[in-house]
Homo-oligomer: A and B are copies of this chain.
């Protein structure tokens, strides 16, 4: 069972997840990266190679864990968070605090075909992926143990993807991550002093200035944040004030899928298919923050390394001007 541990000095939590049974010797640096086996467990027809699915979109007359699906969700083989088997077990040991890493860790397989370039998936697959995000989010949000649900995509080995077949991951976790706490605290403070949602204000300033905006549709805007931490960092933000991703209506889901595909297409075409990560920031499942929090999706191509200065200060050094990065992507067409 993975364990959550809190560092007494910084208060930051970490998951110790050794279920892959990696011994210290396994970390000894190899001279060559191991290639992925040709036999991809995420491909249609290989359903028996994954844990049994928790959900899939396929015609009703076809059996589970067989072919015919469009998006398929399975538990992660090496979960960082595991389903609760009993009550939460908080462990105090002198200055240390730890608890079992209870929750869930799922893989959302974004396509039955082994299309390695996720930006090239058809819009219909993005629509189904967004629908799967919301279905799985809602399923876990009902669990009173869960405090926060994180949806992410890792794309490319250098961005931490262990498989080339396009997929996302869901983490349902028993705490509110410190980074979300930070955004909540600042959003709450801004709302108290100005009577407005902070991200609504940021969005208004972004759209008025325009120079960091990459694209817009009726429901979403994509821009480079003013203080981008990474080269070509982008935020995908709903134009209406919405605190909770999982309440997105059908039109919103469709327009999110469009904005996402268009954004990934520009990143793919403009930056030559770079590795990237994106992640959701949304309201914690059990906190009444709806007045002042505003959900959004953050994306960062993997074009830089957090080195000693960044790791030691949490102040990033970004070598790309956000205004130039946004201008470059704004004028980059997506892949043909």
Q: A227-B12, A318-B14 are in contact. Are A159 and B305 (CB under 8 A)?
A: yes
Contact string, A302-315, partner B, CB cutoff 8 A, digits 1/0?
01011111011111
Residue in B closest to A228 when the chains form the complex, CB atoms: B14
Complex Cα distance, B196 from A47, in Å, reads 57
- B158 close to A10 (CB less than 8 A): no
How many copies of the chain does the oligomer comprise?
Answer: 2
The prevalent SS among residues of A at the interface is mixed
| Chain A stretch 69-100: residues in CB contact (< 8 A) with chain B | 80, 94-96, 98
Q: A9-B187, A328-B24 are in contact. Are A308 and B14 (CB under 8 A)?
A: no
Q: Is A171 among interface residues, defined by CB-CB distance under 8 A?
A: yes
- A314 close to B178 (CB less than 8 A): yes
Q: A177-B315, A272-B29 are in contact. Are A152 and B308 (CB under 8 A)?
A: yes
8 Å CB contact of A152 from B169, B307, B325: B307
Interface size class, chain A: 35 or more
Q: A186-B8, A272-B29 are in contact. Are A80 and B202 (CB under 8 A)?
A: no
Q: A305-B158, A305-B160 are in contact. Are A182 and B319 (CB under 8 A)?
A: no
Q: Is A321 among interface residues, defined by CB-CB distance under 8 A?
A: yes
Q: Tell me which of A57-65, A121-129, A245-253, A273-281 binds B.
A: A273-281
CB distance from A140 to the nearest CB of B (A): 15
Q: Which of A154, A159, A179, A190 has the most CB of B within 10 A?
A: A179
CB distance from A268 to the nearest CB of B (A): 10
Q: Is A270 among interface residues, defined by CB-CB distance under 8 A?
A: yes
- B177 close to A303 (CB less than 8 A): no
- A312 close to B281 (CB less than 8 A): yes
- A16 close to B186 (CB less than 8 A): no
A interface, CB within 8 angstroms of B: 5-18, 20, 22-25, 27-29, 80, 94-96, 98, 148, 150, 152-154, 158-161, 169, 171, 173, 177-180, 182-183, 186-187, 190, 198-199, 201-202, 205, 225-229, 231-232, 270-274, 277-281, 298, 300-301, 303, 305-309, 311-322, 324-325, 327-329
